[in-house]
Structure 1
């Protein structure tokens, strides 16, 4: 498969970086072709500009400033997101990447007459999210896991059919032990190596 891995963490020595590397090892074992987008390393601007918003619904203009990211989206068979859970959600840089790259005509087609938007990411057959979270699993569930809903429901609705979903989360990150973290990294590697 052709996989686009979108990574969002500002510290290159973080546990989230280790999560990314574990996923990449698994993908290499399975023989997948992977492109990595490191949003912080490329200093991606998550803010939609005034002009981008004005041009948002114009499919001839709305991808000019994010063309490389749109090309990556259209190249991929699968999307993989590796990020920390901050304030029960996505890091702002990743949310901004969705705002700017998932434009009409690319990720969806605008609704007409009050109907629901139509999916445009029909090339995407796999959706993976790998995250860490400081809270215990039950508290994340209590809050409602907005980040999980955005990816596993919202983005999934824009993808091809069928589209497999994989959600992996390491809870109680702030108090987890080295052996627990090592087990999670191995679980990531094994799970990604099993994807065909």
Structure 2
């Protein structure tokens, strides 16, 4: 599978970055063709400026060559795995800005007479590896898992409802013991090793 792995954590020595490396290494070891994007390391600008926003609804390609390269990655991918920390119940600003600027009309979706039309039908897998400070009960029962819905429902609308999904989350990261982190890392490696070809 052509697998795009996107990472959004500002700290290179973080557990989140270790998860990103584990996803990439395991996928490559399983024979997948991998493109790895570390948004912070490459200095991706998550801010959509006024001129970009004014032209957004035209559906045409952006002027920014960085965005064109990232859109090409989306069009190339058959599977996408996002690796990031969940902050304030959703994606961090870097990843949200990447979604705003790259998953744009004319690239990730089109608008037809009946609404949104998927622009990435070749994507057959969409997955998330994330950490959360909140306990599972608060995230799910009280908050309604908003970050999960953004990805597994919102982005999936751009790929098609036949796209398979997975969600791997380590809750209570701030108090997680080294043993619990190691178990989660092993779980992530095992799940990525089972991705279809």
- TM bracket, shorter-chain basis: over 0.9
Deviation sequence 1:30-61 (CA, Å, 0-9, x none): 2101111111111111111111111112233x
Contact map agreement 1:125 1:161 (CA 8 A) in 2: no
Contact map agreement 1:28 1:193 (CA 8 A) in 2: no
Matched, 1:135 2:134: yes
Q: How many residues align?
A: 193
List structure 1 runs of 4+ shifted beyond 6 angstroms.
Answer: none
* Pairing 1:127-166 to 2, within 5 Å after superposition: 127-141=126-140, 142-160=142-160, 162-166=162-166
Deviation at 1:91, TM superposition (A): 0.4
The equivalent residue for 2:79 is: 78
CA distance in structure 1 between the aligned counterparts of 2:115 and 2:158, rounded to whole angstroms:
11
* Pairing 1:19-168 to 2, within 5 Å after superposition: 19-60=19-60, 62-65=61-64, 66-112=67-113, 115-141=114-140, 142-160=142-160, 162-168=162-168
The equivalent residue for 1:4 is: 4
Contact map agreement 1:127 1:166 (CA 8 A) in 2: yes
CA distance in structure 1 between the aligned counterparts of 2:195 and 2:41, rounded to whole angstroms:
27
Specify the SS of the correspondent of 2:53: helix
Unpaired segments ≥5 residues, structure 2: none
Contact map agreement 2:8 2:40 (CA 8 A) in 1: yes
Deviation at 1:28, TM superposition (A): 2.0
CA RMSD, 1 decimal = 1.1
The equivalent residue for 1:185 is: 185
Contact map agreement 1:85 1:132 (CA 8 A) in 2: yes
Deviation at 1:98, TM superposition (A): 0.6
Contact map agreement 2:85 2:132 (CA 8 A) in 1: yes
Structure 1 length-normalised TM: 0.95
Specify the SS of the correspondent of 1:104: coil
Highest relative contact order (Cα 8 Å, sep 6+), 1 or 2?
A: 1
Deviation at 1:64, TM superposition (A): 2.3
Specify the SS of the correspondent of 1:129: strand
CA distance in structure 2 between the aligned counterparts of 1:116 and 1:160, rounded to whole angstroms:
13
